[in-house]
Amino acid sequence: MVIEPIPVADAHTDLLTALELPGRSFAGEGTEGHVTLARLRAGQVRLACLACYIAPRFKCQGPARVLRLIDRFYALCGEHRADLIQVTGAGSLSGVLSGERIGVLLTVEGGEALGGDLAVLRMLHRLGVRMLGLTWNGRNDLADGVGEDGTGGGLTTLGREVVREMGRLGMAVDVSHLAPAGFRDVVRIATRPPLASHANCAALCPHPRNLTDDQLKVLGEQGGMVCLTFVPDFVAPDSPTIERLVDHLEHAAGLVGPGLVGIGSDFDGMEETVEGLESPACFPGLAGALLQRGFSLAEVRGIMGENLVRYLERVLK
């Protein structure tokens, strides 16, 4: 049983995209979807990374699409200024886990957002973006995603330039969705430890989106993070329960150490949910399951939130 409230930091949610759907409301009670203010409060969420997801249909208009989503982010922060506070670096991360307002960090999922231009990356950084996933599942002008695994393609010349510029700017490189060759390129050239914001363990669930033990070990060796996701197909398609998710957390912790493991729910980015993890309000149940599995209270506090905050404090400028 959880004996005290445990603050949560979630490395990946798709709230910004979900708010486009009819009937969705961040403030409304009983709204469809996963993430609402009340549910974040109930789950003790203190930091949420909000992704600007560049869906395939927007591939040829990435910069315009990402600006629309960033506009929605700022509108959300303005409308709920009493409850949300934007996080951009170590200074604004200080005290976020104990603050009254929920920290929100702006991220991008899909290098199409850059439109092939490093100047756009620099402008996104000025707008507050602090994490970039280079691909989704397909190929773009930075790299191949896991859906293109058969090509053996890694980072392009532009992709390598983007990773280096992100290091200079103080941004976190997200290897989620990258094809294996691209993953190898990132860990070879990145000047700041990369992370996987939402991926699980291929040894337990051999889905292409999950990471192999070798990939997890490399992230650990570089001081990066692996944040486990709640997408049922990445947990255990035949039995997606909290216990199966804890199996992934335990496996990852055994490879990289419990201090480099976190959570990246992917709430609002999936249709089905893990049994018992239907929304952020269910986070205390996950913390309790980790305690019952034998993790110490300090380790659970780390996995649920403190580890991600410490990682971001090290990587962000």
> For the segment 194-229, what is each residue's pLDDT rounded down to a tens digit?
999 999 999 999 999 999 999 999 999 999 999 999
100, 84 Cβ separation under 8 angstroms:
no
Q: What is the gyration radius of the CA atoms in the chain, in angstroms?
A: 18
Tokens of 75: 């509108």
Give the pLDDT confidence score for residue 74 in this predicted structure.
Answer: 98
Q: Which two tokens stand for residue 130?
A: 């602090």
Distances (CA, A) of 301 to 12, 105, 223, 311: 18, 20, 19, 14
3-state secondary structure of 231: coil
In this structure, what token pair is assigned to residue 181? 């060759």
CA–CA distance, 83 with 69 (Å, rounded to integer)? 20
Which residues, in sequence order, are CB contacts of 251 under 8 Å at separation 6+? 201, 203, 204
Any idea which residue has 């507050």 for tokens?
Answer: 128
DSSP string, 57-70: GGGGGHHHHHHHHH
| pLDDT tens-digit map of 307-317 | 999 999 999 98
Distance CA 89, CA 8 (A): 18
Q: Residue 3 — very low, low, confident or very high, per pLDDT cuts 50/70/90? A: low
31-86 residue pLDDT tens: 789 999 999 999 999 999 999 999 999 999 999 999 999 999 999 999 999 999 99
pLDDT in the model for residue 4 = 80
* Mean pLDDT score of the chain: 96
Q: Which domains does the chain have, with CATH numbers?
A: 8-26+33-315 (3.20.20.140)
Indicate if the pLDDT at residue 1 is higher than 60: no
Output the pLDDT for position 30. Answer: 63
Whole-number Å distance between alpha carbons of 231 and 12: 12
Helix extents (H) in the chain? 15-18, 37-42, 62-79, 90-93, 118-126, 157-169, 180-189, 213-221, 232-235, 242-256, 283-293, 297-301, 307-315
Q: pLDDT tens for residues 239-273?
A: 999 999 999 999 999 999 999 999 999 999 999 99
pTM: 0.97
